[in-house]
Structure 1
Amino acid sequence: MRGLSEKIGIVAGGGRGIGAATAKRLASEGASVVIGDIMGDWAREVADAIKADGGKAIGVDLDGTSEDSQKAIVEAAVSEFGGLDFYHSNLAGGTEGDIDALNCSLETLDKSFAINAKSHFIATQAALPVMLQRGSGAMIYTSSGAASGGSPWQVAYPMTKNAIHALARHVASKWGKKGIRANVICPGVVLTEAVKIHMTDEQVEKSLKFVPHTRLGEPDDIAAAVAFLASKDGEWVNGQVWHVNGGMQFRD
């Protein structure tokens, strides 16, 4: 990608899966990356792997639902590398007990909103002031195809993922004239470590039948999309929701 070699970015939720693949891809393109994860040791492992390959990265503990923790990871980017050009907000979870609207508890709903929506809001509040001072920046949020696919088996997760789309469009429309871009990526079925653990071979085969493609997704597929949106090549993309799903959903 053009224009990533001097960029400084954060990957939240970068200890495993999509986040780890994204951090490695960004670093391979020359970006300096701060990797945050609730599992801080995972983040540091990814950073160590990047540095072993000649890249620039640090790993830190990150509780995405904490205002102080989000501020701290932004401060780490500034103090370690001198600024912040993009923030990939890639946190998700809290789906245990998330079933239909009549049987999903308020506790489960609140937990899902905290992880899947509030965390992205807090990340935005932490990152935007630094980007505005810099005169440019990109917020890149990970959502999910569940936001638009219709999920009879869960209610909270799709609701919270839709909130991310509204947040990104708000940021893009409010601060686009000040050099800020905000975009969303909605992955389809991506075979991360967690998905491979929780999906049986039968479920994987069934999912593939619904994709007009030869395979399901890999973390590197999403990493490539994030790298584009963070780069100079993607600088005229703003306020968009990209479905990177092998064609599982056809979207305008």
Structure 2
Amino acid sequence: MDTSKFFDLKGKTAIVTGGANGIGKACCQILAAYGAKVVVSDYNLEAAEKTSKEINADGGKSIAIDCDVTKDDALVNLVDKTVKEFGSIEILVNNVGGGGAGKESPYDISVEQFKKVFDMNVFSMWRLCQLVAPHMKKAGYGSIINMSSMASINKSPAISAYASSKAAINHMTRNLAFDYGPDNIRMNAIGPGATRTHALSTVLTPELEKAMLKHTPIKRLGEAVDIAGAVLYFASPISSWTSGQVIFINGGGEQTLDM
């Protein structure tokens, strides 16, 4: 068995939305390390350029493109600039997401706020898939990885917009796999559990961490590289017969807050 090409991404171009920090940054780094040319896409261009420069300094090849995924012209510009710079698109990591626990009480959240979560988490993903698909078909290789969440299957208070948007991503992924599969484009999703990012660090306490790990067999929170490892699998030839799947990276359990 020749395993040399299983994780070989040389000659392939990857777009990662929300790629400047956290999970997105780890995805950019790991894809570049395995040979992909990486577009670090983020609404914060300065942060995206910093990540891109780090990748290039480590021997990778990367550019940064500013993109607000809720604006259609920004999504079109992202795809056009990527193709102009690198000539093709083979990998898309739809990583951007917004909303969250404790912020979405139905007594307080407005319809516009609820809609905004879907604009960012669902509609932007669907549209970007639509934009990159013709380029993937032309390249003869396509892997789209959508970032879901454990919230898509858990039940918690004050998170109805975010959780339902992530559940929509799961089902959208499974259905789009049928639409794009004949063009050799694979579509999969990843649902991270509680992962150490800057956002989590702003609220995490030792007591909260202990509560979150009560039902987690592997007794630690996730790291960004844990999620990036799953992205690498889905992006690579090793998963060439894997499509329409949602995988949860969560230490084997649920990071719930019940004591």
> 151, 155, 171: which is aligned to 1:146?
151
Alignment deviations for residues 206-246 of structure 1 (CA, whole Å, 9 cap, x no partner): 21222111211000000010011000111111000000111
Structure 2 gap ranges (5+): 1-5, 255-259
The whole-number CA distance in structure 1 between the counterparts of 2:140 and 2:108 is 47
Q: Which residue of 2 aligns with 1:26?
A: 31
Alignment deviations for residues 70-89 of structure 1 (CA, whole Å, 9 cap, x no partner): 11111222111110001000
The 8 Å contact of residues 181 and 239 in structure 1, kept in 2 or not, is answered as yes
The whole-number CA distance in structure 1 between the counterparts of 2:177 and 2:146 is 12
Give the 3-state SS of the residue equivalent to 1:209 in structure 2. Answer: coil
Q: State the superposition RMSD in angstroms.
A: 1.7
Alignment deviations for residues 123-182 of structure 1 (CA, whole Å, 9 cap, x no partner): 112211211222320110001000001122321001111111122122211121210100
Deviates more, 1:99-108 or 1:136-145: 99-108
The whole-number CA distance in structure 2 between the counterparts of 1:43 and 1:24 is 12
Structure 1 gap ranges (5+): none
The 8 Å contact of residues 105 and 159 in structure 2, kept in 1 or not, is answered as yes
The 8 Å contact of residues 117 and 160 in structure 1, kept in 2 or not, is answered as yes
Letter in 1 for 2:40: I
Aligned-pair identity (%): 38
Deviates more, 1:124-133 or 1:21-30: 124-133
The whole-number CA distance in structure 1 between the counterparts of 2:85 and 2:203 is 37
Within-5 A mapping of 1:7-156: 7-95=12-100, 98-156=103-161
Alignment deviations for residues 19-69 of structure 1 (CA, whole Å, 9 cap, x no partner): 001100111111100010111111111000000111000111011111111
> 209, 225, 228: which is aligned to 1:204?
209
Stretches (4+) displaced over 6 A: none
- Is 2:9 aligned against 1:4? yes
The whole-number CA distance in structure 1 between the counterparts of 2:103 and 2:82 is 35
Letter in 1 for 2:38: V
The 8 Å contact of residues 98 and 156 in structure 1, kept in 2 or not, is answered as no
Give the 3-state SS of the residue equivalent to 2:153 in structure 1. Answer: helix
The whole-number CA distance in structure 2 between the counterparts of 1:31 and 1:194 is 27
Q: Cα distance, 1:102 vs. partner?
A: 4.4
After TM superposition, the score normalised by the length of structure 1 is 0.94
Letter in 2 for 1:5: K
The 8 Å contact of residues 189 and 217 in structure 1, kept in 2 or not, is answered as yes
Letter in 2 for 1:115: M
After TM superposition, the score normalised by the length of structure 2 is 0.92
